[in-house]
Chain A
Amino acid sequence: MHALNSRQHCDWGQRVKLSDAPHGGGRLGRAAADPAYLRYRRAFEAAGDAYPSVAVYVGAGASHSWMWFADLLERLGLHDIAFVTEEEVTTEGLSRFGVLMVGGGDTYAMAEGMGPGGAGALEGFVRSGGFYHGSCAGGYLVLRGVDRPPFTPFALVDGEMVNVMGSPPEPRCLEHKYLAPYGPDWVFHPVYGEVVLGPGIEGRGFECFASGDIKAPLFGGPVIASMSSVADFTGVSDRAAFLWPRDEAERLLEGRRAVVSASLGGGTAVASGPHLEHPLFVGANTLLAELLLRHLKEAPADTGAPSGRAPSTTPPHGLNPTAATAQVETLLGEIRRQVSNARIVGFGLEKMPITWRIGVKVWEPEKIRTFLDYAWRRLPYLYARALYLDPAELEPLAAGYAEVTRLARSLKITIESDTDSQPEAQSLLTRLKELTASFLSLYFRLRLEARGDHD
Chain B
Amino acid sequence: MYYGDTLLVNLDTGTTEQFSFDEVGVFGPGLAAGIGLYEKYGDADPLVIGSGLLTGTTAPASCLGFVVGKSPLTGEVAVSPLGLYAGAEVKLSGFAMIVIRGTSDKPVYLWLHDGVADIQDASALWGRDNWETTDAIRQEMGEGLIQVISAGPACEEGSRLASFSIDYWGSGDTAGLGAAMGARKLKAVALRGLGMLDPEDPEAYYEATMEMLAGSPAEPGFGRLSKGLGAGDVDGWLKPMVHRYRSCFACPAACNTFVKYNEPASVLAPDGVDEPGVMVTSAAAALWLMGGGWEAEPACRAMEAMARAGIDQVRGARELAEKPLKDPAGVAAAVSALTGSAAAGWPSSDRVGSGLFGPWVPPLGSPDEWMEAHRLGYLLGICPTYLLTSGIDRGALLGLCGPASGVELDTGRIAEMLP
> Footprint of B on A, CB under 8 Å?
1-23, 25-26, 333, 336-337, 340-341, 343-345, 347-348, 376, 408-409, 412-413
The answer for the CA separation of A210 and B20 in the assembled complex, in Å, is: 46
B329 lies within 8 A of chain A by Cβ: no
B2 lies within 8 A of chain A by Cβ: yes
For A336, the chain B residues whose CB sits under 8 A away are: 115-116
Residue from B23, B27, B114 in contact with A340 in the complex, judged by beta carbons closer than 8 Å = B114
Contacts A348-B142, A348-B144, A408-B142 given; does A17 touch B1 at CB 8 Å: yes
Q: Count of chain B residues with Cβ under 8 Å from any Cβ of A?
A: 54
The answer for the CA separation of A86 and B334 in the assembled complex, in Å, is: 70
The answer for the CA separation of A341 and B27 in the assembled complex, in Å, is: 32
Kindly supply a per-residue 1/0 record for chain B positions 99-129, scoring 1 wherever the CB is within 8 Å of any chain A CB and 0 otherwise.
0000000000000011110100000000000
When the two chains form their complex, are residues B405 and A15 in contact, meaning their CB atoms are under 8 A apart? yes
The answer for the CA separation of A19 and B20 in the assembled complex, in Å, is: 11
B271 lies within 8 A of chain A by Cβ: no
Kindly supply a per-residue 1/0 record for chain B positions 1-14, scoring 1 wherever the CB is within 8 Å of any chain A CB and 0 otherwise.
11110000000000
- Distance in angstroms from A10 CB to nearest chain B CB is 5
The answer for the CA separation of A130 and B347 in the assembled complex, in Å, is: 81
CB-nearest residue of chain B relative to A2? B355
Residue from B23, B26, B418, B419 in contact with A11 in the complex, judged by beta carbons closer than 8 Å = B26
For B38, the chain A residues whose CB sits under 8 A away are: 4
- Distance in angstroms from A190 CB to nearest chain B CB is 35
Contacts A13-B27, A343-B194, A344-B141 given; does A18 touch B22 at CB 8 Å: yes
- Pairs of residues from A and B, 8 with the lowest C-beta to C-beta distance, nearest first: A13-B25, A22-B195, A409-B142, A345-B142, A340-B114, A348-B143, A19-B3, A12-B28
B77 lies within 8 A of chain A by Cβ: yes
CB-nearest residue of chain A relative to B39? A4
The answer for the CA separation of A26 and B198 in the assembled complex, in Å, is: 9
> Footprint of A on B, CB under 8 Å?
1-4, 20-29, 32, 35-36, 38-39, 76-77, 94, 96, 113-116, 118, 141-146, 192-200, 355-356, 404-407, 413, 416-419
For A23, the chain B residues whose CB sits under 8 A away are: 195-196
- Distance in angstroms from B84 CB to nearest chain A CB is 18
For B114, the chain A residues whose CB sits under 8 A away are: 22, 340, 343-344, 376
Most buried by B among A9, A12, A336, A344: A12
Residue from B29, B142, B195, B416 in contact with A16 in the complex, judged by beta carbons closer than 8 Å = B29
CB-nearest residue of chain B relative to A408? B142
When the two chains form their complex, are residues A2 and B77 in contact, meaning their CB atoms are under 8 A apart? yes
- Distance in angstroms from A33 CB to nearest chain B CB is 14
Contacts A1-B77, A2-B355 given; does A20 touch B113 at CB 8 Å: no
For B118, the chain A residues whose CB sits under 8 A away are: 337
- Distance in angstroms from A133 CB to nearest chain B CB is 32
- Distance in angstroms from B26 CB to nearest chain A CB is 5
The answer for the CA separation of A38 and B24 in the assembled complex, in Å, is: 38
When the two chains form their complex, are residues B25 and A344 in contact, meaning their CB atoms are under 8 A apart? no
The answer for the CA separation of A21 and B197 in the assembled complex, in Å, is: 10
- Distance in angstroms from A346 CB to nearest chain B CB is 9
The answer for the CA separation of A337 and B113 in the assembled complex, in Å, is: 8
For B355, the chain A residues whose CB sits under 8 A away are: 2
For B32, the chain A residues whose CB sits under 8 A away are: 10, 12
When the two chains form their complex, are residues A5 and B26 in contact, meaning their CB atoms are under 8 A apart? no
When the two chains form their complex, are residues A348 and B413 in contact, meaning their CB atoms are under 8 A apart? no
- Distance in angstroms from B210 CB to nearest chain A CB is 20
When the two chains form their complex, are residues A10 and B143 in contact, meaning their CB atoms are under 8 A apart? no
12 A-B pairs within 8 Å (CB atoms) are namely A9-B36, A12-B32, A13-B27, A17-B1, A17-B405, A19-B198, A22-B4, A336-B116, A337-B118, A340-B113, A341-B113, A408-B142
Contacts A12-B25, A14-B25, A22-B195 given; does A412 touch B113 at CB 8 Å: no
When the two chains form their complex, are residues A10 and B413 in contact, meaning their CB atoms are under 8 A apart? yes
For A348, the chain B residues whose CB sits under 8 A away are: 142-145
The answer for the CA separation of A111 and B194 in the assembled complex, in Å, is: 38
Contacts A7-B419, A13-B22, A17-B1 given; does A25 touch B192 at CB 8 Å: no
CB-nearest residue of chain B relative to A3? B419
When the two chains form their complex, are residues A12 and B29 in contact, meaning their CB atoms are under 8 A apart? yes
- Distance in angstroms from B416 CB to nearest chain A CB is 5
- Distance in angstroms from A252 CB to nearest chain B CB is 39
- Distance in angstroms from A119 CB to nearest chain B CB is 42
Q: 16 new A-B pairs (CB below 8 Å) besides A14-B25, A344-B194, A376-B114? A: A4-B77, A4-B419, A6-B419, A10-B413, A12-B26, A12-B29, A14-B22, A15-B406, A16-B22, A18-B96, A22-B196, A340-B113, A340-B115, A347-B143, A348-B142, A409-B141
- Distance in angstroms from B22 CB to nearest chain A CB is 6
CB-nearest residue of chain A relative to B195? A22
The answer for the CA separation of A25 and B192 in the assembled complex, in Å, is: 19
The answer for the CA separation of A4 and B416 in the assembled complex, in Å, is: 11
- Distance in angstroms from B113 CB to nearest chain A CB is 5
Contacts A341-B113, A348-B143 given; does A25 touch B21 at CB 8 Å: no
When the two chains form their complex, are residues A1 and B76 in contact, meaning their CB atoms are under 8 A apart? yes
Contacts A340-B114, A347-B143 given; does A26 touch B3 at CB 8 Å: no
When the two chains form their complex, are residues A344 and B22 in contact, meaning their CB atoms are under 8 A apart? no
When the two chains form their complex, are residues B416 and A344 in contact, meaning their CB atoms are under 8 A apart? no
CB-nearest residue of chain B relative to A13? B25
When the two chains form their complex, are residues A412 and B142 in contact, meaning their CB atoms are under 8 A apart? yes
When the two chains form their complex, are residues B27 and A12 in contact, meaning their CB atoms are under 8 A apart? yes
Contacts A15-B405, A19-B3 given; does A7 touch B416 at CB 8 Å: yes
When the two chains form their complex, are residues B143 and A345 in contact, meaning their CB atoms are under 8 A apart? yes
- Distance in angstroms from A17 CB to nearest chain B CB is 5
For B96, the chain A residues whose CB sits under 8 A away are: 18
When the two chains form their complex, are residues B21 and A18 in contact, meaning their CB atoms are under 8 A apart? yes
